[in-house]
Amino acid sequence: MSLLSGNPQASVGQPGQSATPSKGLYLESYGCQMNLADSEIILGSLAAHGYEPVETAAQADVVLLNTCAIREHAEQRVAQRVRQLIAERRDGRRMRIGLAGCMAQHHREKLLDEIPGLDFVVGPDGYRRLGQLLEAGEAVADVRLDQHETYADIAPRRGEGVRAWLTIMRGCNRLCTFCVVPFVRGRERSLPPEVLIEDLENIVAQGYKEVVMLGQTVNAYSYGDVDFAQLLERAAEVDGIERIRYTSPHPADMSERTIETLARTPKVSPYVHLPLQSGSDRMLSAMERGHDVDQYRRLLAKLRDAVPAIAVSTDIIVGYPGETDEDFEATSAFMEEMNFDHAFLFKYSAREGTRAFKLEETLSEDEKGARLQRLIAEQEARAARINQELLGSVTEVLVESKAKKQEGWLAGKNPQFKTVVFDPRTAAIGELVKVRIEAAGSHTLRGRQV
């Protein structure tokens, strides 16, 4: 995944874990995996105050939407959703409804005025105080950013599944001109490696097979003399963890040592999500991304040389202010040259508070939309072509669920993070099995267990 998804995710946690929950918490999470992982911290933090997850808002004493601010559209959808929940709040029941996460931090106290009936607003660094906040009788906001907050001492309450999130660092020091993240999540800070390894051992003990290390610039991880490469090495030594993933690395933070570690650590899956944003040097420079096209090209060549089976996905923004036809064509051509397995493609969305916000947009929504559609079509064809080359090959799948469309089939991810649906022989959820690929589209591989 890209960290930049605006889709609502399922509520996390395991409803009904306690036979008699004292207080019900209904939590919906939006946006990136960092947010999903934060929701698990919220559940962990509120469990200490007697809150247990419930399945519907109607059952809840507290309704919390953990939000994303990366695009305006994502915020509008959440605002609509929270207004709907407020309207549905049954008379006579003082259910408290609040917003958490990046949108809460982005608009702060203003949200309490703009959304009548909203009870509380809490930013990404306020979750340890959420229990006390909920005891307040009036509308209240906790939107202090805290440079030292890592929640290292709060055990996340993880949901069911084969894959666990492990936040290894928070915040970002990069300040790309278009991005609101540094303003809503603050500056970089990493968690102590011993805390992370202990949590990873808990993850294994809870039955997860795969861990995804998370950070806004995950490969900038640094704690004392432990860097990202060393953390990967230590994680790979934990018995019982089958696969280690990480997202999202920044191209400029990808050290030689990390590349060497990726190459010689089989537990680290051969997949990297490496955000590019634009294939034009002029745009990369305007965005202050910290690298140019040729540096990205050389980095990817090194990664592919070190890990030949690696699959690569990226993020692209189309229509950044000043993007010309030439810039756009350069992005299209560079995506083809890089032969990305997958791309998360977005129209530029101006975010208040960012440095790009003051720039005048030079393309209409329709023009941005047309550019986006072209890149989507090109990427679909590219992904289908890449996946077609896998026909007849055998890949290892970590089984995670029943297939949605085909009765009796199972689904999971292969090491390259491609979705594989397959006809099982003996496979069960949670197992690693070999599957021969018999059909391939742009998003899904289909096959049969061997």
Q: Binding residues for ligand SF4, per CB under 6 A?
A: 172, 174-176, 179, 181-182, 216-217, 250
Cα–Cα distance measured from residue 267 to residue 395, given in angstroms and rounded to the nearest whole number: 15
- Residue 415: is it exposed, middle or buried by C-beta count within 10 angstroms (0-12/13-18/19+)? buried
Cα–Cα distance measured from residue 364 to residue 319, given in angstroms and rounded to the nearest whole number: 9
Report, in Å, the least distance between residue 182 CB and ligand SF4.
5
Q: How many CB atoms lie within 10 A of CB 160?
A: 11
Q: Between residues 355 and 385, which has the closer beta carbon with respect to ligand SF4?
A: 355
The string of DSSP letters for 262-305 reads HHH-TTB-SEEE---B-S-HHHHHHHT-S--HHHHHHHHHHHHH
Report, in Å, the least distance between residue 273 CB and ligand SF4.
12
Q: Between residues 37 and 200, which has the closer beta carbon with respect to ligand SF4?
A: 37
Q: Between residues 34 and 338, which has the closer beta carbon with respect to ligand SF4?
A: 34
Q: Between residues 208 and 221, which has the closer beta carbon with respect to ligand SF4?
A: 221
Q: Between residues 183 and 409, which has the closer beta carbon with respect to ligand SF4?
A: 183
Q: Which residues contact 445 (CB under 8 A, 6 or more apart)?
A: 387, 390, 395, 414, 418, 419, 420, 421, 435, 437, 439
Q: Between residues 183 and 340, which has the closer beta carbon with respect to ligand SF4?
A: 183
Report, in Å, the least distance between residue 248 CB and ligand SF4.
7
Cα–Cα distance measured from residue 143 to residue 102, given in angstroms and rounded to the nearest whole number: 10
Report, in Å, the least distance between residue 251 CB and ligand SF4.
10
334: left (phi over 0), alpha (psi -120 to 50) or beta: alpha
Q: Between residues 293 and 411, which has the closer beta carbon with respect to ligand SF4?
A: 293
Q: Between residues 269 and 278, which has the closer beta carbon with respect to ligand SF4?
A: 278
Report, in Å, the least distance between residue 169 CB and ligand SF4.
11
Report, in Å, the least distance between residue 46 CB and ligand SF4.
27
Report, in Å, the least distance between residue 300 CB and ligand SF4.
17
Report, in Å, the least distance between residue 120 CB and ligand SF4.
26
Cα–Cα distance measured from residue 165 to residue 24, given in angstroms and rounded to the nearest whole number: 24
Report, in Å, the least distance between residue 131 CB and ligand SF4.
29
Report, in Å, the least distance between residue 318 CB and ligand SF4.
15
Please report, to the nearest 10 degrees, the dihedral formed by the alpha carbons of residues 303, 306, 307, 310 taken in order. 20
Q: Between residues 277 and 379, which has the closer beta carbon with respect to ligand SF4?
A: 277
Cα–Cα distance measured from residue 37 to residue 35, given in angstroms and rounded to the nearest whole number: 5
Q: Between residues 53 and 279, which has the closer beta carbon with respect to ligand SF4?
A: 279
CB 435 within 8 A of CB 391: no
Helix-helix angle 293-306:325-338, to 10 degrees = 10
Cα–Cα distance measured from residue 387 to residue 390, given in angstroms and rounded to the nearest whole number: 5
* Amino acid, res. 252: A
Which residue in the block uniquely carries the two structure tokens 């029943």? 402
Backbone angles phi and psi of 26, in degrees to 5: -105, 120
